[in-house]
Amino acid sequence: MTAPSSPDTPADGPATGPSTGPSAGPASSGAETRERLLVAATRAFAEHGVANASLLDITRQAGQRNRGAVHYHFGSREGPRRSGPSAWHC
């Protein structure tokens, strides 16, 4: 016999959503997103310069839908440059 469901739990069991997939969790959230943004920013800055690189293009290249991802993870447009290779002196 199955236990009755509570108002918070659907009758077919607990809800599962996109955050329960194999790529979810601490290892794939902040650190990996930040790394993908850094790689994309490195390419964009090398190609267009820091001032002319498109933050929208950087977020898209990193697979992000959030247009503010660079500012969220790095604080500013300059953040990835400061976090990037120490050889950058632009």
Q: What is the pTM of this model?
A: 0.61
23 Cα distance to chain centroid? 12
Q: What is the pLDDT along the chain (90 residues), one digit of tens a residue?
A: 555 544 544 454 444 433 333 344 444 588 899 999 999 999 999 999 988 999 999 999 999 999 899 999 999 888 888 886 654 444
Identify the pLDDT of residue 28: 56
Residues 32-83, CATH architecture: Orthogonal Bundle (1.10)
Residue 19 has what pLDDT? 39
Report d(CA 81, CA 22) in Å as an integer.
31
Angstrom distance (rounded) from CA 41 to CA 19: 26
Maximal C-alpha separation, the chain: 69
Domain boundaries, the chain: 32-83
Are the beta carbons of 58 and 37 closer than 8 angstroms?
Answer: yes
